[in-house]
Structure 1
Amino acid sequence: MSLITIILNILLPPLAVFMKHGIGSTFFISLILTLIGWLPGVIHAFIVNGD
């Protein structure tokens, strides 16, 4: 995982997921989790982008 991906995972989780996976169910899950609360979005982004 690059430094840019880590920074985006923290600051803008949906953007980080979009850059790796495009628009799909993973992106929308990340967007919803980030809107509910920032921390769940960050956790989801790290799990998804950690592959």
Structure 2
Amino acid sequence: MGLITILLNIFLPPLSVALNKGIGMDLLINILLTILGVIPGIIHAFYVTSR
């Protein structure tokens, strides 16, 4: 995982997921989690980009 990915995970979680996995269910889940709370969105982004 590179520095750019880590920074995107922290500051723009949905963009990071979209760049790594494309537009799909992971992106929709991340958008929902980011809307509900930023921390769950960040955690999900790290989980998705580390797989």
Q: TM-score range by the shorter chain?
A: over 0.9
Calculate the aligned-residue CA RMSD, in Å: 0.4
Instruction: Name the residue aligned to 1:11.
Output: 11
Tell me, in whole angstroms, the C-alpha distance in 1 between the residues paired with 2:19 and 2:48: 12
State the distance in 2 between where 1:50 and 1:23 align.
17
Structure 1 residues 1-51: Cα deviation after superposition (integer angstroms, max 9, x where no partner)? 010000000000000000000100000000000000000000000001012
Identity over the aligned pairs, expressed in percent?
53
Aligned to 2:38: 38
Structure 1 runs (4+) greater than 4 angstroms displaced: none
Gaps in structure 1 of 5+ consecutive residues: none
Superposition TM-score, scaled by structure 2 size: 0.97
Write the letter of the residue equivalent to 1:3: L
5+ long unaligned stretches in structure 2: none
